[in-house]
Amino acid sequence: MVNCVKTTMQYRDRAEIIRQILEVANGAVDITRTKLMYKAFLSYTQVKEYLTLLTERDLISYDSITQTYKTTEKGLRLLQFYNELDDMTKASHLQSRQQQRSAPNKTSIRK
């Protein structure tokens, strides 16, 4: 008997997809186009489009001998900036939720 688990993908904007590609290609060895496709959950058409964009902007480099990709220094700086921005956004969101919970209930009491 085969056990199937259904997973759903959330909508990802372009920035999130770029972030995932840069993370996958960062520090890993032998990251081919196919590995990027599977690890970043992209179609062949999408991975081609994004790799073209990222290599043109010098965020990722391609080694034609090994046919592998690697995040460049510029790509690492972008990734670091994106992660810091994401951390600040999450912290701000968490703080506002905590303030909402601790605020007194403003319901009126009828007499």
Residues of the chain above pLDDT 90, percent: 59
| Residue 1 in this model has a pLDDT that exceeds 50 | no
Report the amino acid identity of residue 74.
K
With b meaning 16 or more CB within 10 Å and e meaning fewer, what string describes 1-28? eeeeeeeeeeeeeeeebbbbbbbbbeee
In a domain, 106, yes or no: no
Tell me the whole-structure pTM to 2 decimals.
0.74
Q: What is the pLDDT of residues 65-111, one digit of tens each?
A: 999 999 999 999 999 999 999 888 887 777 777 777 776 655 555 55
Handedness of CA 90, 87, 91, 7 (dihedral sign): positive
Specify the number of domains making up the chain. Answer: 1
Q: Which domain holds residue 58?
A: 14-100
> What pLDDT does residue 32 have?
95
Residue 9 lies in a domain: no
The mean per-residue pLDDT over the stretch 32-43 comes to: 95
Average pLDDT value over all residues in the chain: 85
